[in-house]
Amino acid sequence: MNIALFASGTGSNVKNIIDFFKKNKTINIVLVVSNNSSAGALIHAKNNNIHQLVIDKESLSDTKSVLEKLREKNIELVVLAGFLLKIPEKFITNYKGKIINLHPSLLPKFGGKGMYGNNVHKAVLESNETKTGITIHYVNKNYDEGTIIKQYETKLSKKETIESIALKIKNLEKLYFPVTIEELILKSY
Ligand code: GAR
């Protein structure tokens, strides 16, 4: 089972996933794709001798060259780990049921366009939520609306800040995202 990770930012999740599957003989992280040539995610890939691909918005929406690369690497599962760009419908059709995303809130709350990273935590804080969490879900043509695979929660106190919420979310992501990917593969493939 070959996996491609798509990421736009610092790539803490990319690092967690690479580390988690390092010794796994059947599940391999073989490609890291980013729309940001200075993304930390690419550095984690390089440090682990994993192939890297930098794409731009145009090549993603055209999809041809990206799909060719995924096929060349026999990618069976695409994992979005902090990937900012919208996945085009053409791409979804070609990888039906094989693209999953991590979102840093309990969807359907605080999802949609522009809901990324600290924007999500700020909205959670301003809404005086008593809990937040992470959602791992399939990707469909609308932002953050695909079928939910798993959700994990954390309680919020009255003293939270954007930073404290971000830390709680990072901890949940580290604990649960890689293991949820593994469970999903073992169950469905
Ligand atoms: C993660 O918290 C992920 O949940 C979030 O981006 C962050 C990336 O962090 N994803 C979204 O907000 C998707 N809408 P990382 O680069 O350190 O892995």
pLDDT in tens, 118-132: 999 999 999 999 999
The answer to whether the CB of 12 is under 6 A from ligand 1 is yes
Helix or strand or coil: residue 99? Answer: strand
Place of tokens 């729309």: 35
* Atom 6 of ligand 1, nearest CA residue: 82
Q: Which atom of ligand 1 is nearest to the CA of 116?
A: 12
Task: Determine the distance separating the centroid of ligand 1 and the alpha carbon of 116, expressed in angstroms.
Answer: 7
51 is catalytic: no
Residue-by-residue pLDDT tens, the chain, 189 positions: 999 999 999 999 999 999 999 999 999 999 999 999 999 999 999 999 999 999 999 999 999 999 999 999 999 999 999 999 999 999 999 998 999 999 999 999 999 989 999 999 999 999 999 999 999 999 998 889 999 999 999 999 999 999 999 999 999 999 999 999 999 999 987
Per-residue model confidence as pLDDT tens digits over 52-68: 999 999 999 999 999 99
The answer to whether the CB of 118 is under 6 A from ligand 1 is no
Place of tokens 């106190």: 157
- The CA distance from 44 to 158, in Å, is 36
The answer to whether the CB of 178 is under 6 A from ligand 1 is no
What is the predicted pLDDT for the residue at 83? 96
The answer to whether the CB of 13 is under 6 A from ligand 1 is yes
> Domain 2-188 sits in which CATH superfamily?
Formyl transferase, N-terminal domain (3.40.50.170)
DSSP characters over 124-185: HHHTT-SEEEEEEEE--SSTT-SPEEEEEEEE--TT--HHHHHHHHHHHHHHHHHHHHHHHH
- The CA distance from 68 to 166, in Å, is 36
What is the predicted pLDDT for the residue at 143? 85
What is the predicted pLDDT for the residue at 149? 97
What is the predicted pLDDT for the residue at 142? 87
CA-CA-CA-CA torsion sign (132, 181, 24, 91)? negative
Q: Which atom of ligand 1 is nearest to the CA of 16?
A: 18
